[in-house]
Amino acid sequence: MSLSNALHDALILLLSGDAALWHIIWVSLKTTGIALLLATPPAVVLGYGLARGEFRGRRVLIWLAQATLAVPTVLIGLLLYLMLSRQGPLGGLHWLFAQPGIIAGQVLIAVPVLLAFTLAAVQAIDVRLAETALSLGAGRWRVMLTVLREARFGVMAAVITGFGRVISEVGCAMMVGGNIEGATRTMTTAIALETSKGQFAQGIALGIVLIVLALLINAGLMLAQGDDRLRGRV
């Protein structure tokens, strides 16, 4: 099949509302969305705590957090597979080859990204800001929210990067989800499967969706930043 034919078939698939294709897109968006909702609050709080906390072992924790960025997702998938398999310590949850298993893997993949980016964003904020909030009577949580508000574009970039890493990930989703049609097949596992079968149309269609998603989300961030810049708020 030529590239132009494959592209044509991909567009037909997308525009015809192919149920199987759109279900795969729905599974990807659903698992990624839930994973980010679960991962973002603790990762952002941890990132803030590591950036601003003063405690023994802080530098070691920062080193570990940043090092986990480089861990291959397939290794996370392997470890999670062993944990969730019938003989594993979490086997009783029956999450293997089910969407909760994929979500668990995505949370483990997203947390280091969110944490590291939040850490960098908070470290870039002048410490006098937190001191000002503190001297005006703010408690710890209000100080944290004030600093995170100032670092909001960095935190938004963290969430977008986390989204990108999670939705484009294939190794963990394949191992833990099992790529079961109608249940745990995600955009990336579907692309891998269809390509291995020599059927490129669905893979290209899903690739188009991934690219459009990336463009839309980054455009949203740029608009938000641009809007604030126009008002002189950056």
Partner 1 sequence: MTALLSIARLRKRHGEHTLLDLADFAIEAGSATVLTGVNGAGKSTLLRILCGLESAEIEEVRFFGQVQRMAPFPVTMRRAIGYVHQHPMMFATSVAENIAYGLRASGAPRAEIDARVDEAVAWAGVAHLRERHAPLLSGGEKQRVALARARVLQPQLLLLDEPTANLDGAAREAVIALIPTLIAAGSSVVMACHDRDLIGLPGVQRWKLRDGRIEYR
Applying CB under 8 A, which residues contact partner 1? 126, 128-129, 131-139, 142, 146, 149-150, 231-233
CB of 229 to partner 1, least distance (A): 11
CB of 134 to partner 1, least distance (A): 7
**Of residues 56 and 233, the one with the C-beta less far from partner 1:** 233
DSSP per-residue string spanning 45-109? HHHHHHHH---TTHHHHHHHHHHGGGS-HHHHHHHHHHHHSTTSTTGGG--TTSHHHHHHHHHHH
**Of residues 219 and 234, the one with the C-beta less far from partner 1:** 234
CB of 147 to partner 1, least distance (A): 10
**Reduced to 3 states, what is the DSSP secondary structure of residue 43?**
helix
**Of residues 129 and 210, the one with the C-beta less far from partner 1:** 129
CB 166 within 8 A of CB 109: yes
Task: Give the Cα separation of 2 and 64 in Å (integer).
Answer: 46
**Of residues 56 and 128, the one with the C-beta less far from partner 1:** 128
